[in-house]
Amino acid sequence: MAEVKRIRCGGVNSYLIEEQGRAVLVDTGRIGFEEKVLAQCRKTKVELIVLTHGHADHVQNAAYLRKELGVPVALHKKDLNLIEDNFMEPFRFQGMLGMAVAEVTAKSFESDRIPEFIPEIFINEGDWLRDYGIHARIIELPGHTRGSIGIDLDEKDVIVGDALMNMFYPGLSLVYWDRAEMLKSADKISALGARKVYFGHGSPVENRAWNKTGI
């Protein structure tokens, strides 16, 4: 059975999914945390890096970790343009907290550099990670970005990237590309039933009716 290990990279999470001595790394954190993530990866056999979406805080160490670990990187093709420029997609928010997060994020996007890399694998709804030793499948969760994805593990855990957030409280994402798509994705996560939800930001919580929380 797969085990999820959280790697805290400041305000952003990376995750190691491990199963019987094999592992997949989910998201890579910001520059400055690359050695911390690499040290955790060295404790197991990482065979793939999966990126939940293309924002810099989740992908900034992808080029470095791919080189150090000698493994491919997987991303949804709809987020490929964000690797080149995080401003390639509209950036929206709702509410005072959303506005505050959007302002901080926009300033970050202006200064953050994403070392160049090209994903070897484009992932889609229903793809399995069994070839990499992990019994888990990809689920598409658009809204925060066009190509946001999550990973459903053994029908007991789900990694959702920024499709949901737990920055101030567990709920809907405070910033997004498309609110209607985000709400659909939140419903999709809720419909998975009993799961522990692992966020790109914040501590994990139990699954719930997400459209009744947050903004």
Instruction: Give tens-digit pLDDT for 74-108.
Output: 999 999 999 999 999 988 998 999 999 999 999 98
pLDDT of residue 94: 87
- To the nearest 10 degrees (0 to 180), the angle between helices 62-69 and 34-41 is 30
Instruction: Name the CATH superfamily for 3-212.
Output: Ribonuclease Z/Hydroxyacylglutathione hydrolase-like (3.60.15.10)
Q: Is 70 helix (H, G, I), strand (E, B) or coil?
A: coil
Instruction: Give tens-digit pLDDT for 138-187.
Output: 999 999 999 999 999 988 999 999 999 999 999 999 999 999 999 999 99
pLDDT of residue 165: 97
Over the Cα atoms of the chain, what is R_g?
16
Q: For the CA atoms of 101, 103, 107, 112, what is the dihedral angle to 10 degrees? A: 30
Instruction: Give tens-digit pLDDT for 37-77.
Output: 999 999 999 999 999 999 999 999 999 999 999 999 999 99
State how far the Cα of 109 lies from the Cα of 106, in Å rounded to an integer.
5
State how far the Cα of 148 lies from the Cα of 11, in Å rounded to an integer.
19
Average pLDDT over residues 99-127: 95
Instruction: Give tens-digit pLDDT for 193-213.
Output: 999 999 999 999 999 999 865
Q: State the chain's mean pLDDT as an integer.
A: 96
State how far the Cα of 95 lies from the Cα of 198, in Å rounded to an integer.
24
pTM over 0.85, yes/no: yes
State how far the Cα of 62 lies from the Cα of 51, in Å rounded to an integer.
8
